[in-house]
Amino acid sequence: MTQDPFDELDDVVLDEDFISGGAKEAAADERIAKAQRVARANDRLRAEGEIADGVGKPRFHRVRKSMPWILIGALIAAGIVVVAIVAR
């Protein structure tokens, strides 16, 4: 018989020691201050040209990737038509 994985939790007591031993999260005002510092740093880097703003960024062109396959398919189709005309 397999052991129930929840049996290990039977001995856990959710008291003040358990809660105080958990992960600590910064207070809301500390998180806001950190977010503002990051935003200011990003603004500074953007002004210095270190962060791209999307202008002049190369776009993904699917046509460019599929163009060789379209060309190859067209050439094969033209070859089949030529062979069919010649064989007739």
Question: pLDDT by residue (tens digit) across 11-37?
Answer: 878 888 888 888 888 899 999 999 999
Residue 74 to residue 64: CA distance in whole angstroms: 16
Provide the whole-model pTM: 0.38
Residue 9 to residue 29: CA distance in whole angstroms: 35
Residue 58: alpha-carbon gap to chain centroid: 18
Confidence of residue 2 (pLDDT cuts 50, 70, 90): low
